[in-house]
Structure 1
Amino acid sequence: MALLSTSEIQALIDVKEPFAQLDMLADKAAAQDVIILSCGPSLSEYSPEVLQDLLAGKCVIAVKQAYDVVPEAVDFQILNTWNSQKYDYSRRRPFIIRETAAGDPPVFGESDLNLLVERPSALSEQLARKQNFADFQFAATLSRPWGPGVLYEVGFYLAQHLGARRIITLGWDVGVKNSAVMPHFYDRPDPHKTAILAEAARLRTAQEKNRYLHDNGVLYNKPRIIPDEVETCAAASGGWHRYLGEAGIDLVVVSTGALVDPAIPRGRLEELLAG
């Protein structure tokens, strides 16, 4: 149902050497659409059944828990240390890219390509603030910038490396201004998970707590939101649009409530993919 076959994904996993893996991925989706599913509330604008039908045969990148919505359609899952959880890959095993930074809390789970995030000394060094996007193309370096966020650090660069002619995003809502909370499509009360979190709080070390939460399928390593982070990322979306456009790649957002730059075109997924 996805772009990559199971055997192609396994071939990538077997190679193991990062530069060789990226060489295999170069222009894999040349002149095609690449759809990025992120974890904002707008991902729920489409049911899993509708998404499964629309995304059949397309190149799909899923940010973290977005994989769970349409696992059979996902070619690549991108992860970082934050908002981690255990995933069930029994329906389809994507190629898993994980990035970490020195000093990050412990994380568990599978990964096939492991990347290191630079840890700058000042907020002014964030990619969203400097907007030096060309410096971190995968053709130039494996090192990842501090975005913030895995979409800015890996997602757009992966789509570019794959040779996308157009990047279509769903669930890229950026966030809510003047809020310390980043909403997600999966946010809902769960008494069972609340009990597991309470039990984990009794454990002594972060390693023990995270292992317990991971094994029980509960999200862990929730990040704090830096003041003005949402505004910074929203402003940087316009920079991404310009940078990708200069590289010959159209950027389109499907999410109706996204705080992205008004210059970025919007459309409905069914109409975009039918064209």
Structure 2
Amino acid sequence: MFDKGYSADLVTRIAAADDITAKTQVLKNSAKGETCVILACGPSLREYESDRLAELCKDTVVFAVKQAFAYVPEVCDFLLLNTWNYQKYDFSIRRPVVLYERAPKDPPVFGEHDIIFDLPQPTDLSQQLARSKRYDDYTFETSAARPWGPGVLYEIGFYLAHFMGFKSIVTLGWDVGAKNTSVMPHFYDRPSPQRTRTLAQSRRIRTFPARNQFLHDGGVLYNKPRIIPEEVDICAAASGDWFDWLTAQGIDLKIVSQGAMVDERIPRTRLEYEL
């Protein structure tokens, strides 16, 4: 059982560490033998109302991928970010450990980050971890540099759970995507007049950094990425590789999301059965 001081203590200890290696080492085996919940941004996140989800996860370490944090901020211990689909987050309820990764030519973002990881500049698709399958090469014991997944779950999430010593992982909202489309469905895909107004106003701003700062301050999503349709199939296939790799490390992986495109070998469950 983890109390609300868990993430705040880690934030303090990470801030006191001198470099990225020392900051990362703060997390090593910090949850040995425990279960973690990883909340991703697929539509299936809404299989649970936010109040019910918070109740189920209140005594469990929770990793939130991007906007999943805003769905249940009171229980999220870690916030996993990259440059894409970025937005401002409200940490007044709970301050998570914020892990952020960036590539050299990424556009600007303006949030708080406790550990910043470097990604390679994307070039050849064969470099993607989901294609190269070099899973052993990117554990946090091996290197703080992150691979090109694609996706923050493959680049940070599973590796972090391994590094922290969790014995089991339960995911919700890890839907991978939808086939044959350049649009990635999310749980938050609903019309927002406020977002529409802010985006319209941002078009008057000439410089890219100033425009992103305006969007960040306005609380709307920015740096929307392009989706390569075939990546959905690649990432779905790689989910089976992750299951095999985590199993080999002694970590149990299960998924809650109904209808997710992950490999059929990954057991389906419900949070009520696991927490």
- Under a length normalisation based on structure 2, what TM-score does the superposition of the two structures give? 0.96
- 8 A Cα contact 2:37 2:170, kept in partner: yes
Corresponding residue for 2:195?
Answer: 193
Which of residues 266, 269, 272 is equivalent to 1:270? Answer: 272
Q: For residue 121 of structure 1, report the CA deviation from its aligned partner.
A: 2.8
Q: For residue 15 of structure 1, report the CA deviation from its aligned partner.
A: 2.3
**Cα distance, 1:211–1:269 mapped onto 2, change above 3 Å:** same
- 8 A Cα contact 1:72 1:92, kept in partner: yes
Q: Which runs of 5+ in 2 are unaligned?
A: none
Q: For residue 5 of structure 1, report the CA deviation from its aligned partner.
A: 4.9
Q: For residue 16 of structure 1, report the CA deviation from its aligned partner.
A: 5.0
Mean CA deviation greater in 68-77 or 139-148: 68-77
Corresponding residue for 2:119?
Answer: 117
Corresponding residue for 1:101?
Answer: 103
**Cα distance, 1:129–1:153 mapped onto 2, change above 3 Å:** same
Counterparts of 1:153 and 1:54, CA distance in 2? 26
Corresponding residue for 1:39?
Answer: 41
- 8 A Cα contact 1:3 1:58, kept in partner: no
What secondary structure is seen at the aligned counterpart in 2 of 1:25? coil
What secondary structure is seen at the aligned counterpart in 1 of 2:136? helix
Corresponding residue for 2:230?
Answer: 228
**Cα distance, 1:83–1:209 mapped onto 2, change above 3 Å:** same
- 8 A Cα contact 1:3 1:60, kept in partner: no
Corresponding residue for 1:76?
Answer: 78
- 8 A Cα contact 1:81 1:99, kept in partner: yes
Counterparts of 1:34 and 1:193, CA distance in 2? 33
Counterparts of 1:5 and 1:200, CA distance in 2? 35
Corresponding residue for 1:261?
Answer: 263
Corresponding residue for 2:87?
Answer: 85
Q: For residue 124 of structure 1, report the CA deviation from its aligned partner.
A: 1.0
Letter in 2 for 1:6: A
Residue 163 (1) aligns with residue 149 (2): no
Q: How many residues align?
A: 273
Q: Deviation digits for residues 59-116 of structure 1, max 9, x if unmatched?
A: 1111011111111211110100000001110111111000000111111110010000
Q: For residue 120 of structure 1, report the CA deviation from its aligned partner.
A: 4.5
Corresponding residue for 2:50?
Answer: 48
Cα RMSD, aligned residues only: 1.3
Q: For residue 2 of structure 1, report the CA deviation from its aligned partner.
A: 4.6
Counterparts of 1:3 and 1:242, CA distance in 2? 34
Letter in 2 for 1:126: Q
Counterparts of 1:42 and 1:150, CA distance in 2? 18
Q: Which runs of 5+ in 1 are unaligned?
A: none
**Cα distance, 1:181–1:214 mapped onto 2, change above 3 Å:** same
Corresponding residue for 1:127?
Answer: 129
Q: For residue 21 of structure 1, report the CA deviation from its aligned partner.
A: 2.1
- 8 A Cα contact 1:3 1:59, kept in partner: no
Corresponding residue for 1:245?
Answer: 247
Counterparts of 1:141 and 1:71, CA distance in 2? 30
- 8 A Cα contact 1:2 1:58, kept in partner: no
What percentage of residue pairs aligned between the two structures are identical? 52
- 8 A Cα contact 2:172 2:255, kept in partner: yes
Counterparts of 2:68 and 2:111, CA distance in 1? 16
Q: Which runs of 4+ in 1 moved over 3 A?
A: none
Q: For residue 3 of structure 1, report the CA deviation from its aligned partner.
A: 7.4
What secondary structure is seen at the aligned counterpart in 2 of 1:124? helix
Q: For residue 136 of structure 1, report the CA deviation from its aligned partner.
A: 0.2
- Under a length normalisation based on structure 1, what TM-score does the superposition of the two structures give? 0.96
- 8 A Cα contact 1:16 1:113, kept in partner: no
